[in-house]
Structure 1
Amino acid sequence: MGRLARKKQHKGDKPLKEKYRTKRKTKDLDQIHEDLLPRNAPGILNQDVDYDKPGAAQYYCIHCARYFINNTALTDHFKTKPHKRRIKSLQIEPYTQEEADRAAGMGSYKKPKVVKVETQPLKEDMDVVDLPT
């Protein structure tokens, strides 16, 4: 057995890293853009009670695709850096097939549009607005 044959005979922790990387996978930005559309957002924000999810699936951040245990945890999450970073990354228009075609030389370059994304309203705020006067 030569010197090179003795090296690199172990896997190390690479398979474990790959397993855990895919285990914690969250929604991609284009999937979240799809959730933010006006026809999809109300159904996602007003989910049925599901006791298998944190907070019975009643406190959900649509931008980060995360469930929270109560309203306080959700409002505290809105003030955190990861939420603000996610809001900023969602402001760029998602990558489309048309953009891929333009990059391949089948059209001219267009700068991605800026999409206006704001933090979702809280359920208490929505109830106050929806009250008939």
Structure 2
Amino acid sequence: MGRLRRSRTHKAQRDIHRASRTRARTKDLDQIQLIDLDPKNRAALEAQPLDFEKPGLAQHYCVECAKYCETDTALRSHWKSKVHKKRCRALKEPAYTIEESERVAGLGREGKRSTWVAATASTPSAVTAAAA
């Protein structure tokens, strides 16, 4: 029969807020880039042991989306989906670093060189190797 309420009610956003509160969160893009896309970790995630608590016994896992699928067919159709392609496109962009976020907030070192560049520039062998 459906809901029995008027079309315009006070706090019409209630359902949206409740859904966002109870929605299962997935991994953030920076977590996937730094941890899951590492070749050792990726191989371990793609070849997980049987787990009866996870969908598809944890055998069909999309590393880029951090999502379990029930069957191999579902995983293949997920790879062709717009959601997966959009996520892969977003993962190609580099993740923000802590230094970048501090610089944007006005806490970073604008005119100073980083310690890594200063350390490599001070050693003559590094300079000659970089020039070659």
Partners of 1:66 and 1:43 lie apart in 2 by 15
Aligned-pair distance for 1:13? 5.3
Could you list the per-position Cα deviations for residues 21-67 of structure 1 after superposition, in whole angstroms to 9, with x for gaps in the alignment? 14232111111112111232112111110122111100000111111
Counterpart code for 1:88? R
Partners of 2:18 and 2:58 lie apart in 1 by 26
Aligned-pair distance for 1:104? 3.2
Give the TM-score normalised by structure 2: 0.65
Which residue is equivalent to 2:19?
A: 20
Which residue is equivalent to 2:86?
A: 85
Q: 1:49 and 2:50 equivalent?
A: yes
Partners of 1:31 and 1:98 lie apart in 2 by 17
Aligned residue runs from structure 1 range 47-126, under 5 A: 47-105=48-106, 106-108=108-110
Moved over 2 A (4+): 10-14, 16-20, 104-108
Q: Percent identity?
A: 43
Give the TM-score normalised by structure 1: 0.64
More helix per residue: 2
List alignment gaps of at least 5 residues for structure 1.
1-9, 109-133
Relative distance call for 1:99 and 1:54 in structure 2 (3 A) is same
Return the index of the structure with the highest Cα Rg.
2
List alignment gaps of at least 5 residues for structure 2.
1-9, 111-132
Which residue is equivalent to 2:31?
A: 31
Could you list the per-position Cα deviations for residues 61-93 of structure 1 after superposition, in whole angstroms to 9, with x for gaps in the alignment? 011111111111111111110000000011111
- C-alpha RMSD of matched pairs (Å): 2.1
